[in-house]
Structure 1
């Protein structure tokens, strides 16, 4: 049975004290829940990773990084390597988020190299991808998403997929208040699972968790999560409020 996952991407928000406060609030929220086959992950900014990790120690909450560099080390001012993330006790990293693709020019080839670097350091990869509004309107959304998944991940050996989590994020539904309908999310997730099965096999396709990442809120989480190929969410804005994030966790 594949894992259900609710992951909160805090992006460039929260000071250290604010991050610790939010983490403590989330600890209280999850302490009263029965989370069978469900993982809860938070991704603070780099400078707050250690503080949040220490705060949630002993709870079921996991901590992930929002990004990493593809090189092992070197003259890359301001960057963070996979080895550094492992060195502070992390086991997961988000790669390919739409904001990294749009604002920092990260393309499929670069992301493939980042995936390789992460896996080399025994980091689980939460791999993001998704189409823009014009792709959806033109009916090209399956081609765009398929290419991003294939170019970023299909060079991997089958054995590597135990450390891959997929996150579909329709770019037009991030931070806009727009949300893909539960049916649209299911349609795309089923498509993604089908291309993984075609490239590898049904075992890998059925075991990989596919998260939805497009303006999930307490009001729509239960409907979205009820779909058979939606295994949870990569949450943005709603992850910054413990009450909202807690409600989303409960919805799964």
Structure 2
């Protein structure tokens, strides 16, 4: 199974940052896949940069009166091959439910996009001993019956952008749990404060097939050591 380094730029990036996309492509080591989830405004302009592209969300409908939304086919037309769905920021900021994410994933598959579905618990849920229950329910509710190219990203909400990282044992527990519940060949990514200094330790955990990286993916100099650590793992 080829490992995957995915970067989520979130609501960052303008035309001035296209050079960073090209720099990531140039720095990518052989033997792994690299995917950048750019803002939709940059997808078409980055399609020839030499790296695979993803959207950060899509609507469940193929088209229609949904002002401000993007259909999966639009993302594919702009050059995306995948789309992130169910990120904790979408779940929290937009009240997205597992059912809504599942419908979006079905739309993504219909448009030929690989769904990258995010799951993860809050700090209260972790400290309450409910992490596996929460992650299991999100997985069962969000992943459609048919999802070619499916990627699942475990991102504990309490570790995203905080600098806090679960212990290797905590990551291993969740990834082993997920590995027993996803179709064969599904890549499982870890996300949450991944950086060059901790990447090798994270990638040594069983069933971790790569990372979904936030802030560090915005700067090629920060993302490159993570890609290199993955290639060496």
Please state if 1:167 is matched with 2:167. Answer: no
Cα distance in 2, alignment partners of residues 161 and 193 from structure 1: 15
Instruction: Establish whether residue 212 from structure 1 lines up as the match of residue 225 from structure 2.
Output: no
1:127 matched to 2:117? The reply is yes
Pick one of 159, 165, 169 that aligns with 1:179: 165
**Which residue does 1:24 correspond to in 2?**
22
SS in 1 for 2:57: coil
- Corresponding position of 2:43: 49
Unaligned runs of 5+ residues in structure 2 are: none
User: Where in structure 1 are there 5+ consecutive unaligned residues?
Assistant: 197-203
| TM-score, scaled relative to structure 1 | 0.88
Relative to the length of structure 2, the TM-score reads 0.95
Q: From 192, 195, 198, give the equivalent of 2:181.
A: 195
Would you say how many aligned residue pairs link Structure 1 and Structure 2?
A: 230
> How far off is 1:195 after superposition?
2.6
Whether contact under 8 Å (2:43, 2:79) holds in the other structure is no
Q: In proportion to residue count, which structure has more helix?
A: 1
CA distance in 2 between counterparts of 1:63 and 1:5 reads: 12
Structure 1 stretches (4+) deviating beyond 4 angstroms?
Answer: none
Q: Deviations over 1:160-190 (max 9, x none)?
A: 3432100000000001111112221111000
Distance 1:75 1:25 in 2: 38
| Counterpart Cα distance in 2 of 1:225 and 1:166 | 15
Q: Which of the residues 24, 33, 39 maps onto 1:39? A: 33
The residue number in structure 2 matching 1:5 is 4
Q: Hey, what's the Cα distance between the residues in 1 that align with 2:195 and 2:168?
A: 12
Pairing 1:84–2:83 present: no
- Within 5 Å, give how 1:57-76 maps onto structure 2: 59=50, 61-76=51-66
Matched, 1:235 2:213: yes
In the alignment, is the contact (CA less than 8 A) between 2:4 and 2:211 conserved in 1?
yes
3-state SS of paired residue (1:195)? coil
